[in-house]
Amino acid sequence: MVFPANLSKAFVYARSIGASFTKYFPLRSYANDDPSPPLFQLSTSGISVSVQNATMQKSSSGDLEFVSKEDPQVYISIPAATQLRSCFILQFSALVRTSAPDTAQVFYLTPDAINFSEAMSRTRPLVPETAFTRLTFDLESLSGFVSQFRFDVVQKTQDFAIRDVELRCKLWN
C-alpha cells in the first residue's frame, strides 16, 4: 500500500476546489444497479414530506402527485439521520415524472449551514416522459449532511409526480 492513511477527506476537498487531477478519478455514480441498500427510502423509511407552492396528494399506487404554482418546493425530512454526518458523498436519487421540459434541483444542508442555498445544491435537466425517470445527484460535503433536503423537481408551473426517493452514502468518513 502506497498511502496507508485514508485520503477520503483530501480527495473530497480537492474536488470541492476543482483540482484538475480529480477528473481522472471519477466516483462511480450508481443508479438502479447499486447493490448496497439505501440508507433511507421514501417508500419505507418514514420520511416526512411537505410542500410549498404546490398541493400534494398520494395516489392509489403510492406515488406523490403534485399540482404546482411557480417554483414548487418539496421538503424532505429524515428521522434519526445521525449517520449522514459521517458521509462525505451522498447520492440523492428520485423517480420523477413531469409533463414538460424543466430543471430539477436538490438542496442540502451541512451541519454548519442554517439555510438552503444555491452553493449547496445540484441541478439536472428534465425531459418529459410518460413513465417515471430516475434522477441521481451526487452531493459532496467534508462536514457531512443533516436530515433536511429541498427538492425542486420543476421550476415552472406544471404537474409532476415522485414515486420514490433514495439516499445512499458513496463515501464514508
Mean predicted confidence (pLDDT) in 1-17: 69
Predicted local confidence at residue 154, as pLDDT:
95
Per-residue model confidence as pLDDT tens digits over 66-77: 999 999 999 999
User: What are the grid coordinates assigned to 125, written together?
Assistant: 435537466
User: Is a pLDDT exceeding 90 seen at residue 64?
Assistant: yes
Helices (H), 70-113: none
pLDDT of residue 34: 54
Q: What is the pLDDT of residues 118-160, one digit of tens each?
A: 999 999 999 988 899 999 999 998 899 999 999 999 999 999 9
Average pLDDT over residues 8-16: 75
Q: Which residue's C-alpha cell is 398541493?
A: 55
So where are the chain's domains?
A: 37-172
- Comparing CA positions, the residue from 103, 106, 104 lying closest to residue 116 is 106
Check pLDDT > 70 for residue 107.
yes
Classify domain 37-172 at the CATH topology level.
Jelly Rolls (2.60.120)
Q: How far is residue 161's CA from residue 153's CA, in Å, rounded to a whole number?
A: 9
Give the tens place of pLDDT for each residue, 13-61: 887 787 888 777 665 544 445 567 888 888 777 778 999 999 999 999 8
Alpha-carbon gap, residue 86 to 30, rounded angstroms: 20
pTM confidence score = 0.83
Q: Given this model, what pLDDT does residue 33 score? A: 52
